[in-house]
């Protein structure tokens, strides 16, 4: 339990146009700002922001420690200052020398990038007043504290106060502001989750530190599609955008192994081919183990129950493990058919043809339901040289130009097995 005292003076001025200005403004009189998005210089980063940086937006970037948040934003800062914007990088975690060292490693020589190592909110705001930067980066929101609150840096009330002050600043002066936030496993530091409703855009680094690639996902975006995804690779020269993520995710696929299938999911506006693996083996536990990484474990349980009841598979005496290779999280229902196919493939020890792509939602009656954006998925599969595509009958496009890929439309799970395992 942590005591939280209410501050006596109200310190959050909100985002009004100015104190005392209470009159509403006519909708038509508000200036449109659609074409004023600023490109960050990294296409993959612009993509997750919905096409570029919107003036006056407050963007939160969360992720595990060491995943590359500071690296990415330092690269972005460097590219932005090249476009004649003054960028202020406030760090509460590293000294100027350390940031410079990283910058040297990344081979950058910025002239309009300014560093400030400071953790006191009031002093940071004062510095912003003097420098008048066009872009602000705060690394990290958890290290900054306000004098006005008695609680420790990183506590919920401090983090909220800091974010609110930056919200006011960015809206009022139209300065795009990036806040970095750590996601911590223990609850001692207030996570970025507490800020999601305050900021305009929330980006999270996904996947594991141990993979060389990094996935940045849009969780919320007031100025673009949510669920948009950017793929980067951590190299010696920092984060490099990955041109063809599907190729990367399929790179180490064991061709012809039972239990491995390729599915096509759509994340935001991007189709992605990923390998889904299942392992079914005899259990030595009283209740068999079910484990899923990268897909929703509840969804896997549903599929297993369906297989048991509708197709008579005896999975009760087997452990079932399902994994998405490459550390990607797939929460789209179109992965259902892939899960089912991978489980059955491992159960029967029969490999699925490695040049087949599978997608479709599966219902509890064993029916295969249509999914959105089928054509996009088919095109992606065809462009990577896949020869067959198993898809729901309802999603079969009326016309498609990729004649090199054979489309097999199915209506039930049983039908898909006849195609896959015969
Ligand atoms: P960092 O951006 O400091 O992580 P965060 O700010 O999210 O805590 O990234 C640190 C990791 O990135 C560290 O393990 C080293 C690695 N790294 C590279 O592999 N190449 C590079 O060019 C840089 C700058 C970092
Ligand atoms: Mg950092």
User: What CATH number does residue 368 fall under?
Assistant: 3.30.230.10
Lowest mean pLDDT, pick from 3-17, 64-78, 214-228: 3-17
CA of 82 to the centre of ligand 2 (A): 22
From the alpha carbon of 237, which atom of ligand 1 is closest? 22
Our measurement of the distance from residue 284's CA atom to the centroid of its chain's CA atoms, rounded to an integer in Å, reads 37
pLDDT of residue 187: 44
CA distances from 184 to 65, 180, 188, 190, 314 (A): 8, 13, 8, 8, 40
Mutate to test the pocket of ligand 1, among 64, 68, 179, 204 (most ligand atoms within 8 A of CB): 68
Instruction: Give me 335's structure tokens.
Output: 């992965």
Taking CA atoms only, the protein residue closest to ligand 1 atom 2 is 68
CA distances from 181 to 22, 76, 174, 250 (A): 34, 17, 22, 31
pLDDT of residue 188: 45
* Residues 228-270 pLDDT 10s: 899 999 998 899 999 889 988 898 899 889 999 999 999 888 8
Give the domain range for residue 219: 36-242
Instruction: Give me 7's structure tokens.
Output: 């501050």
Instruction: Give me 174's structure tokens.
Output: 């139209």
Mutate to test the pocket of ligand 1, among 234, 237, 239 (most ligand atoms within 8 A of CB): 234
Q: Is residue 91 located within the same domain as residue 151?
A: yes
Lowest mean pLDDT, pick from 129-133, 165-169, 226-230: 226-230
With vertex at residue 348, the alpha carbon angle to CA 311 and CA 275, rounded to the nearest 5 degrees, is 95
Residue owning tokens 């729901």: 392
pLDDT score of 125 more than 90: yes
Taking CA atoms only, the protein residue closest to ligand 1 atom 15 is 66
CA of 159 to the centre of ligand 1 (A): 24
Query: What are the residues facing 221 on neighbouring strands?
Result: 201
Taking CA atoms only, the protein residue closest to ligand 1 atom 23 is 238
CA of 227 to the centre of ligand 1 (A): 24
**Peptide bond connecting 140 to the previous residue in cis, omega within 30 degrees of 0:** yes
What are the residue ranges of helices labelled H in 260-335?
Answer: 297-311
68 alpha carbon, closest ligand? 1
Q: Is residue 330 located within the same domain as residue 235?
A: no
Q: Is residue 354 located within the same domain as residue 416?
A: yes
Q: What is the DSSP letter of 296?
A: -
Give the rounded percent of residues in the chain with a pLDDT score beyond 70: 92
Full DSSP string of 44-113 = HHHHHTTSSBPTT-EEEEEE-TTSSHHHHHHHHHHHHHHTT--EEEEESSS-HHHHHHHHHHTT---SSE
CB 370 within 8 A of CB 395: yes
**pLDDT averaged over every residue in the chain:** 89
3-class SS of residue 35: helix
pLDDT of residue 47: 92
The number of beta carbons lying within 10 Å of the beta carbon of residue 14 is 11
Mean of pLDDT values over 52-67: 91
User: Going by C-beta distance under 8 Å and a sequence separation of 6 or more, which residues neighbour residue 86?
Assistant: 112, 114, 131, 132, 133, 134, 135
Q: Is residue 365 located within the same domain as residue 301?
A: yes
Taking CA atoms only, the protein residue closest to ligand 1 atom 21 is 238
Our measurement of the distance from residue 368's CA atom to the centroid of its chain's CA atoms, rounded to an integer in Å, reads 28
* 198 class by beta-carbon count within 10 Å (0-12 exposed, 13-18 middle, 19+ buried): middle
CA of 182 to the centre of ligand 2 (A): 8
Residue owning tokens 């040049």: 355
Q: Is residue 265 located within the same domain as residue 207?
A: no
Q: Domain holding 114: CATH number?
A: 3.40.50.300
Q: Is residue 210 located within the same domain as residue 332?
A: no
Residue 18 covered by a domain: no
71 alpha carbon, closest ligand? 1
Residue 28 covered by a domain: no
CA of 247 to the centre of ligand 2 (A): 29
Q: Which of 209, 242, 275 is the last residue of a domain?
A: 242
Q: Is 318 left (phi over 0), alpha (psi -120 to 50) or beta?
A: beta
92 alpha carbon, closest ligand? 2
Sign of the dihedral defined by the CA atoms of residues 401, 406, 411, 412, in that order: negative
From the alpha carbon of 93, which atom of ligand 1 is closest? 6
64 alpha carbon, closest ligand? 1
Q: Is residue 265 located within the same domain as residue 403?
A: yes
Residue owning tokens 């239990």: 259
Rounded to two decimals, what is the model's pTM? 0.84
CA of 66 to the centre of ligand 1 (A): 6
CB 387 within 8 A of CB 368: no
Mean of pLDDT values over 43-68: 92
Q: Which of 207, 242, 277 is the last residue of a domain?
A: 242
Sign of the dihedral defined by the CA atoms of residues 60, 64, 70, 72, in that order: negative
3-class SS of residue 234: strand
Largest CA distance in the chain: 75
Lowest mean pLDDT, pick from 1-15, 105-119, 328-342: 1-15
Residue 21 covered by a domain: no
Q: Is residue 73 located within the same domain as residue 104?
A: yes
CA of 276 to the centre of ligand 1 (A): 29
Task: State the total domains in the chain.
Answer: 2
Q: Is residue 104 located within the same domain as residue 177?
A: yes
Residue 124 covered by a domain: yes
Residue 238 covered by a domain: yes
Residue 299 covered by a domain: yes
CA of 186 to the centre of ligand 1 (A): 22
pLDDT of residue 3: 75
Q: Which of 210, 242, 274 is the last residue of a domain?
A: 242
Mutate to test the pocket of ligand 1, among 61, 71, 140, 208 (most ligand atoms within 8 A of CB): 71
What residues are in contact with ligand 1 under a 6 Å CB criterion?
A: 63, 65-71, 102, 105-106, 234, 236-238
pLDDT score of 170 more than 60: yes
Q: Is residue 197 located within the same domain as residue 277?
A: no
| pLDDT tier at 84, thresholds 50, 70, 90 | confident
Q: Is residue 349 located within the same domain as residue 293?
A: yes
CA distances from 382 to 10, 43, 228, 355, 404 (A): 59, 24, 22, 10, 7
**Separation CA 277–CA 112 (nearest Å):** 48
CA of 65 to the centre of ligand 2 (A): 7
Residue 155 covered by a domain: yes
From the alpha carbon of 72, which atom of ligand 1 is closest? 2
Q: Which of 38, 41, 134, 55 is nearest to 87 (CA)?
A: 134
140 alpha carbon, closest ligand? 2
**Separation CA 372–CA 395 (nearest Å):** 7
Q: Is residue 338 located within the same domain as residue 238?
A: no
Residue 402 covered by a domain: yes
């Amino acid at each position: 339990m942590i005591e939280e005292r209410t501050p006596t003076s109200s310190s959050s001025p909100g985002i009004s146009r100015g104190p005392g200005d209470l009159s509403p403004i006519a909708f038509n009189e508000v200036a449109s700002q659609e074409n004023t998005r600023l490109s960050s210089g990294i296409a993959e980063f612009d993509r997750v922001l919905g096409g570029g940086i919107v003036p006056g937006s407050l963007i939160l970037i969360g992720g595990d420690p060491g995943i590359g948040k500071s690296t990415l934003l330092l690269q972005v800062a460097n590219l932005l200052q090249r476009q004649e914007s003054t960028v202020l990088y406030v760090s509460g975690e590293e000294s100027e020398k350390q940031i410079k060292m990283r910058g040297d490693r990344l081979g950058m020589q910025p002239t309009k990038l300014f560093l400030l190592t400071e953790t006191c909110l009031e002093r940071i705001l004062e510095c912003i007043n003097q420098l008048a930067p066009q872009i602000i980066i705060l690394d990290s929101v958890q290290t900054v504290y306000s004098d006005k609150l008695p609680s420790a840096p990183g506590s919920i009330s401090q983090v909220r106060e800091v974010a609110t002050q930056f919200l006011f600043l960015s809206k009022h002066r139209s300065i795009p502001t990036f806040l970095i936030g750590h996601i911590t496993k223990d609850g001692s530091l207030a996570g970025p989750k507490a800020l999601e409703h305050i900021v305009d855009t929330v980006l999270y680094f996904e996947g594991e530190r141990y993979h060389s690639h990094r996935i940045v996902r849009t969780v919320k975006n007031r100025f673009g599609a949510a669920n948009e995804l950017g793929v980067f690779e951590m190299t010696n020269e920092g984060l490099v955008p990955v041109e063809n993520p599907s190729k990367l995710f399929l790179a180490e696929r064991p061709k012809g192994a039972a239990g491995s299938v390729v599915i096509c999911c759509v994340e935001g506006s991007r189709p992605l081919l990923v390998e889904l693996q299942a392992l079914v083996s005899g259990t030595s536990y009283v209740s068999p183990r079910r484990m899923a990484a990268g897909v929703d474990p509840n969804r896997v349980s549903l599929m297993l129950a369906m297989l048991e009841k509708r197709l008579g598979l005896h999975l009760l005496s087997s452990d079932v493990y399902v994994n998405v290779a490459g550390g990607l999280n797939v929460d789209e229902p179109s992965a259902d058919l892939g899960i089912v196919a991978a489980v059955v493939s491992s159960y029967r020890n029969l490999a699925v043809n490695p040049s087949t792509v599978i997608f479709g939602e599966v219902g509890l009656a064993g029916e295969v339901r249509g999914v959105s954006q089928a054509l996009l998925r088919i095109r992606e599969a065809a462009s990577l040289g896949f020869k067959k595509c198993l898809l729901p009958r309802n999603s079969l496009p009326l016309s498609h130009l990729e004649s090199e890929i054979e489309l097999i439309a199915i209506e039930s799970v049983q039908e898909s097995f006849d195609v896959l395992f015969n």
